[in-house]
Each structure stands twice: as C-alpha cells, then as structure tokens.
Amino acid sequence: MLCVVGELCMSRIGKLPIKIPAGVKVLVNGASVVVEGSLGKNEKTFDDSVFIKVVNDEVLVSPADADRDHSLVMHGTVRSIIASMVIGVTSGYKKDLEITGVGFKATMKGKVIDLDLGFSHEILYEIPAGIKVNIDQSGTKLSVSGVDKQLVGQVTANIKSYYPVEPYKGKGVHVIGEFVRRKEGKKTA
C-alpha cells in the first residue's frame, strides 16, 4: 500500500510489539532504553521522535508526532533496533571471518589483534569493550561475537577493510557466507 501525500502512513514493522522473553529486563527512561539479559547489557539512546513504553511484557513504539516525517521514519527503525537489542542479550550475535593467502594470519596479543596480511608493517587492531574475538590455531579463522549487533558488524567490517578479498586469486579477509566475485585472469594467445 502506498502513502498518499497528506495521509498518515505508519510503519508496519513499527506497529508490531516486541515480546520480552523470560529473564530479560527492559528499562525505559524517556528516550533511553536499557536491555539486560543472560549475556550482558545493551543500552541505546534515541531522539524524541518516538514514544517507547513497556506494557505487559511487551515493548511498544509509537511516533511522537504523526505529522512530522522524521517521526514516521524513525518509528520502524527504533522498533527494529530495540528488537535487535533483545535478541543480542538472549542469544548474541556472531560473525565469522576467514583469512586467505600465503603467510596471512592473525594472532591475539591481550586485547589487540595482530594481523599479518603481507604488508611491511604490523596491523594492530584494538578490540572494543563488549566484543569477544576468538582465533583458531592456524590463525586463519576469526570469530567476532557480542551483544550489540551494530558493534559486531562494525568490528567485522574494520578487520575486513585492512585487506578486502581481491577478485583474481581470492587473497584477503572475507566474511564466511558472504559472496565474493571471482574474475578470470588474462588469457595468453
């Protein structure tokens, strides 16, 4: 269904209530939401374009001003972020990376990852708070996990950005399950 100019259109996703599972606490203080569960605590602050309230083990999100476009846009976005926070503290988020290339590997040095990606210098990446990184014995497979979906994705993207997979030989860092386009090299006559 398309929205007509001047007609009130609300997000279909934003209208859905978020069920709070057993063992999870959701505290709403104005525009700040704190979700605590068995895996940890997740906290976000939103702007005043939406109302957030907890009613009977459900979180409800509604636009603060239905005439403002920003409120309507943020309605579904805020609901989706809060749902991700609840999933994060109950089951967590995890992304797996693989390093491909001769001599390419990663090692842990306390809270810092040392990436050996064929450069003449060391690449040291400090792991932010709330993120766990596991590296296998060979140093070619990494697992990034945490309760914050955005932070897990950002750390994964940061590690990948040091040496993205090149399309000819497939060397570099890539996320397992992500499609990597391969190209055929030049052919000799």
Condensed to tens digits (0 to 9), the pLDDT of residues 3-15 reads 555 455 667 888 8
Q: Map out the domains of the chain as residue ranges.
A: 12-90, 93-175
Q: Quote the pTM value.
A: 0.85
Q: What is the mean pLDDT of residues 166-187?
A: 88
In words, the CATH class of domain 12-90 is: alpha beta
Residue located via tokens 């063992």: 23
* pLDDT of amino acid 165: 92
Matching CATH number, 93-175, of 3.40.1010.10, 3.40.50.2300, 3.90.960.10, 3.90.930.12: 3.90.930.12
Look at residue 1 in the predicted model and tell me its pLDDT: 42
* Euclidean distance between CA atoms 110 and 107, whole angstroms: 10
Tell me the helix, strand and coil percentages in the chain, rounded to 5: 20, 35, 45
Give the pLDDT band of residue 114 (cuts 50, 70, 90): very high
Average per-residue pLDDT for the chain: 89
Nearest CA-CA partner of 133 in 162, 150, 156, 117: 156
Whether the domain at 12-90 and the domain at 93-175 fall into the same CATH topology: yes
Q: Are 95 and 152 in contact (CB under 8 A)?
A: yes
- Beta-strand (E) ranges in 5-126? 18-19, 25-29, 32-36, 41-45, 50-54, 58-63, 93-100, 105-109, 112-116, 123-126
Residue whose pair of structure tokens reads 């990663």 in the numeric block: 106
The predicted-structure confidence for 20-49, as pLDDT tens digits, reads as follows 999 999 999 988 999 999 999 999 999 888
Dmax over Cα atoms in the chain, in whole Å?
73
Alpha-carbon span 149 to 95, nearest angstrom: 10
How confident is the model over 61-107, as pLDDT tens digits? 888 877 778 888 888 899 999 999 999 999 999 999 999 999 899 99
